[in-house]
Structure 1
Amino acid sequence: MTPAPPTTGHTQSDQPPAAGLSGRPAGILITSLLLGVLSFQLNASMVTPALPRIGEHFGAVPADVAHVQSMFFLAGAIAGPVVGRWSDFIGRRTALLLVLAVMAAGTLLCLAAPTLPVLVAGRFLQGASSAVFALSYMVLKENLHPRSFGTSVGVVAAVNGGVAGLDGYAGGLMTETLGFRSIFVVVLLLAAVAVLCILKTVPAGRPTGAGERMDWWGAAALSVFFVCLSSFVSAGSASGWGSPGSLALLGATAASFAAFWALEKRRSSPLIAVHQLRSRQVWPVIATTVLALAGLFAIMNFTVVLLSQDSATGFGLSASLSALLFLTPAALIGVFAAPLAGWLAGRRGWVMALRLGTGLSLACAAGAALFAQHQWAVLVCVAALGVFYNGFFLTAINGLSVLLSPREAPGALPGINGASFGIGASLGVVLVAPFAGQGTEAGYSTALWISVAITAAAFLVSLLVPAPQQDDR
C-alpha cells in the first residue's frame, strides 16, 4: 500500500541526542516513564474494586458512586489531546511534570475528601494523568534509537492492560485491610518518585516546527465535544436513545464538533488541522481505535464477565474466580506479548503488526461467540486476546499514532487517539448492554456477535491505515 505524503511526526527537541539512546540509558528512560504511566494505571484499576466500599462510606447509591470512575475517564479524554498538543509548545518533560502535579493535587483531595462530590472532583483532577501515555510515546520516539522504539512502545503499552492482572486484586485487598484511601497513598508516593525520575532522565526542550502558539479555543471546543459525547452515551443507555434528553445531547454533540471544525479552519496553529483529520494518516487510526475498543473491550470486560458469573445460563463462577480465569490471563499474557509485538513491528512493519493484531483479535472474538456456552473455549479465546489485542493491537495502534502524527502537530494524533480509547470502550459497553443484560443464552450470543461485527469493521478500516514513511516496506 502506497504511503501518504511524507508528513509523519518526526520531531526533534532543542537538544536532541546525537544518535538516539539505546542500551542502559534507554532502559533508564523507559523505567522513568513507566513510573508515570503506572501512576495513572493504578488510579484506574485499583479503585474499581473499592467502589462498593466508597459507596458505603459516603452512604451513596451506585449511580452516584459511578461518577468516581466516569469523571476520571472523562478528564482523561479531555487531557489527552489538549496536553498532547500543548506539549509541542512547552516541551514533553514540562507537560509530564504538569499532569503528574495535577494528579497529585487530585490525589490529596481524594485523601482528605469529606464528601463524595469532593472525592469525585479529586478523581477528575487525577484523570488528567491519562495524558502521560501519549506523552511517553512521544518522548520515546524523540529520544530513543529507532531500533529501540518499537520494543519500548510495547513495554509501555503492556501497562495499559493492567499490571499483569494483579493491580485490581491488590486494590481490593488494600480496601479490605487498610481502607480505600490507602490506594491514594500508594498512588501519591509513586507519582512523587515518577516526578523525581522524570526530572532526572527526560530531556528538556521543545520540539521544532510546532507552530506559533497553543490553540486554546480549539482545545475548549474539543473538550465541550467530549463532554457532550460522554453525556449522550450515558443518557442514551439510561433513558433510551430516542428520549428528549438524549436527543438534546446528540444535538449538542454535533454542534460542538461543528464549532470545533469551524474554529480549526481559521487557526494558524490549530489543535489539529481539519485537512489532517480528513487525511488517511489520521482518521483511519482514530476510527480503528474506536471500533476495536468498542468491539473487544465489551467482550473482555463486560459480556464475558456477566456470562461467567451467571448461574442460570452462564458458567456460575464467583466474582473472584471469574476474574482469575477470564481477566488475569489476558492481562498477564499481554505483559509479555506487547514488547514482542513492538520488536516485531519495528522490524517487519507497524501496519503489518496492526493488521495481524486486529485480524486475529477478530478471529478470537468470533470463536468466543461461536462457542459462547463452552466455558473453556471462551477462556482460550479471551486468553488469546492477551496476545493479539493487549499485545499486538495496542502496541501497533499507539506506535502508529506517533509515527503518523502531522509534522506540524506531532502531539495531536497521539492525544486524540488516547481519547478514542475511552470513547470506544464506552460505546461498546452501551451497545451490548441491553442484550447481555437480559441474562439469557440468546442475549449473550447477540451481544457477542455485535462485538464481532464491530471488530470486523475495525479490521476493514485498519486496511486503510498507511505505512509511516520510515516503515514503507
Structure 2
Amino acid sequence: MLTTPSASPVAEEASSTRRSPKASILITTLLLGVLSFQLNASMVTPALPQIGADFDADSAAVAQVQSMFFLAGAISGPIMGRWSDFLGRRRALLLVLGVMAAGTVLCLLAPTLPLLIVGRFLQGVSSAIFALAYIVLRENLDSRMFGTSVGILAAVNGGVAGFDGYVGGLMTEAFGFRSIFLVVLGLTAIAAVCILAVVPGGRAPSSSSTGRMDWWGAAFLSVFLVCLSYFVTTGSAAGWASVQTLLLGVATVAAFACFYFLEKRRSSPLIAVHHLRSRNVWTVIATTVLTLTGIFAIMNFTVVLLSQDAENGFGLTASLSALLFLTPAALIGVFAAPLAGWLTSRTGWIKTLRIGSAMSLACAIAAALFADNQWAVLAAVAALGIFYNGFFLTAVNGLSVLLSPKDAPGALPGLNGASFGTGASLGVALVAPFAGLGTEGGYVVALWISVGVTAAAFLVSLLVPAPREDSQKGTL
C-alpha cells in the first residue's frame, strides 16, 4: 500500500509530477534498472577465462575486469545517493544508466584489455542504482510492503535466478564474451525508458536536504576509495612492506584525513562527521564491506577459477561451471530474499541480519574444509543462496535505508552501496594472488582468507542497532 506524504515545501515542489505509481509497477521498473547493473557482473563472471585468453593476460590482470567494475560502484554509491537528495531520484537513476551505456559501448569496441577495463569502470557506476532504488521504495511504499520489495530487489543480486550466468557461459562459448555486452546495452535502454515513464520526478518528498552537493567531499572520498583498493591490491601482490605499498598506505590515510576534516567544515557535507561516528552508520558499513570481502570472493572468483581448472580443480567448461556454481545460489536467492523481506515485518530486521551473517560464515567454512570435493563446495555455495543472497542482502539493504540520517536520507544507502563495491573489489584483490596460482594449496588459502574476513563481519553485525521498526515490535 502506498503512503501519502504530508504537505511540505518539498512536497509542493514534487506536486508538479504525477502521483506515485502503483507498487507493482514501481517495483518492476526498479527491478529492470538493478538488473541492468547486475547482469554486468553475473554474465561476465563465467567469461573471465576467455577474456584472459583473448587478451593473453594472466589471472591477476583479468581480476581487474571485475575489481575495477566494483571499485567504480564504490565511488558512485555515496556520490549518487547523496546527490539524488538534491538532483531528484529519477534524474539520478537516468544519469547512472547513461554512464553505464557509454561504458558498455566501450567494452564492445575495446581492442585492448586496458580499454575494456575502462569500459568496465564506467559500467560499474551503475552500482548506485541499488541504493537509489531502495530509497525510492522507502519513499513510496508503506513499511510492510517496503520489506518485501527490498527482498525482491535483493533477490537479483545473483542475477536472473542464476540462469543469466549460465547463458553468459553459453554466449561466451558460442559468440564470444562481447556478445554479453549487447544484451546488457539493450536492457539498459529498456530500463531507462521505463524509469522515465514511471518513477516520480522532482525532489524527493522525504528529503529535507538544503544547500548544495558537496563535490569536494565527493572528490576526497573517491581518492580515498581508489587508494584503499590499490593499497590492498599492491600489498597482496608485492608484499605489505614494499615501498609502493607503504606509499599507497600513506596516501590512503591522508585522503581519508582530508575528507574527514573537510566534512567537519562543510555546511552541507556529503555525510556529517557525527553521522560517521554514529553506531547507526559505521556498523552497517563495516558489516557490508567485510561480508562482501569474504563471500563475494568465494562465490564469484575463487570457486569460478577452481571449477574451471582442469589440472588442480574440477575441470568444468565455462557454461557448466556457471550452471553448477552460480545458478543454484542465485535461483535459491530468488525465493529466499522475498521471504526474508516478508519475515522482517514479523521477526525484525536485526534478527534477519544476524541469521544471514552467521549462516554465511558456516557455509564459507564448509567450502574451505572440503575444497577438494566438488559436490561439497557446490552444496556450500548453494546454501549461500539462502543465507547470503536471501537473508543477509535483504536485511543489510533495508537497514541502510531505515538507519540513514533523517537530514540526509540518501547518505547511508549510498555509502552502503559503496561498501558493496569496496568489499567486492577488496575481496578479489586479497585472494587473487593465491587463487591465481592455480594450485590446490592456493585455492585453499584463498578460501580460508575469505572465512577469516567473514568471521569478522559476523562479529561486527552483532553491534548493528535495531531500527525503530524493530523496537516497535520489541525485537532486538
- Tell me the TM-score normalized by structure 2: 0.88
Query: Does the alignment pair 1:95 with 2:92?
Result: yes
**1:254 maps to which residue?**
253
- Residues 296 and 52 (structure 1 numbering): CA distance in 2 closer, same or farther, change over 3 Å? closer
- 1:40 pairs with one of 28, 37, 43: 37
SS of residue paired to 1:385: helix
SS of structure 2 residue aligned to 1:209: coil
The answer to whether residue 154 in structure 2 is matched with residue 154 in structure 1 is no
- For 2:338, the equivalent position in structure 1 comes to 339
Distance in 1 separating the partners of 2:64 and 2:438: 25
Deviates more, 1:113-122 or 1:157-166: 113-122
Deviation of 1:305 after TM superposition, in Å, equals: 3.9
- 8 Å CA contact 2:70, 2:424 repeated in 1: no
- The alignment status of 1:379 with 2:378, answered yes or no, reads yes
For the Cα contact (< 8 Å) 2:337–2:390, is it kept in 1? yes
1:463 aligns with 2:470: no
1:198-217 to 2 correspondences below 5 Å: 198-207=195-204, 208-217=207-216
Give secondary structure in 2 for the equivalent of 1:212.
Answer: coil
Distance 1:460 1:431, change over 3 A: same
Q: Is there any run of 5+ residues in structure 2 with no aligned partner, and where? A: 1-8
> What is the distance in 1 between the residues matched to 2:305 and 2:52?
22
Any stretches of 5+ residues in structure 1 without a counterpart? Answer: 1-10
Percent of residue pairs bearing the same amino acid type: 73
Q: Indicate the residue corresponding to 1:84 in structure 2.
A: 81
The residue that corresponds to 1:354 in the other structure is: 353
Q: What's the counterpart of residue 234 of structure 1?
A: 233
Change in 2 beyond 3 A, CA 1:252/1:161: same
| Distance in 2 separating the partners of 1:30 and 1:281 | 27
The alpha-carbon distance between structure 1 residues 69 and 154, as it changes in their structure 2 partners (threshold 3 A), is same
**What are the superposed Cα offsets for residues 300-330 of structure 1, whole Å, 9 maximum, x if unpaired?**
2344445545566655555544433222211
Please name the residue that 2:3 is paired with.
none
Do the aligned partners of residues 225 and 436 (structure 1) sit closer, same or farther apart at CA in structure 2, a change above 3 Å counting?
same
State yes or no: 1:122 paired with 2:119. Answer: yes
Question: What letter matches 1:243 in structure 2?
Answer: S
Q: Give the C-alpha shift of residue 391 in structure 1.
A: 0.4
Q: Which residue of 2 aligns with 1:393?
A: 392
Measured after TM superposition, the shift of residue 441 of structure 1 is 6.0
Amino acid at match of 2:289: V
Root-mean-square deviation (CA), in Å?
2.8
Q: Give the one of 168, 188, 191 matched to 2:185.
A: 188
| Aligned length, in residue pairs | 459
Equivalent positions of 1:130-169 (< 5 A) are 130-169=127-166
Over 3 Å counting, the alpha-carbon distance change for 1:65 and 1:458 in structure 2 is closer
Instruction: Give the aligned residue type for 1:69.
Output: Q
Alpha carbons 2:67, 2:429 under 8 Å: kept: no
Could you say what secondary structure the match of 2:280 adopts?
Answer: coil
Q: Which amino acid aligns with 2:356?
A: G
Q: C-alpha offsets along residues 375-398 of structure 1, whole Å, 9 cap, x if unaligned?
A: 433332221111001100011001
Shifted more, 80-89 versus 338-347: the winner is: 338-347
Offset of residue 60 of structure 1:
6.3
Specify the alignment match of 1:278 in structure 2.
277
**Pair 337,458 (structure 1): closer, same or farther in 2 beyond 3 Å:** same
TM-superposition CA deviations, 1:192-217 (whole Å, max 9, x none): 21111111211112133113111111
Q: Distance in 2 between matches of 1:57 and 1:390?
A: 32
* 1-structure distance, mates of 2:325, 2:247: 38
* Alpha-carbon distance in 2 for matches of 1:181, 1:445: 32
**1:107 aligned partner:** 104
Q: Give the C-alpha shift of residue 118 in structure 1.
A: 4.1
> Is the 8 Å Cα contact of residues 330 and 384 (structure 1) preserved in structure 2?
yes
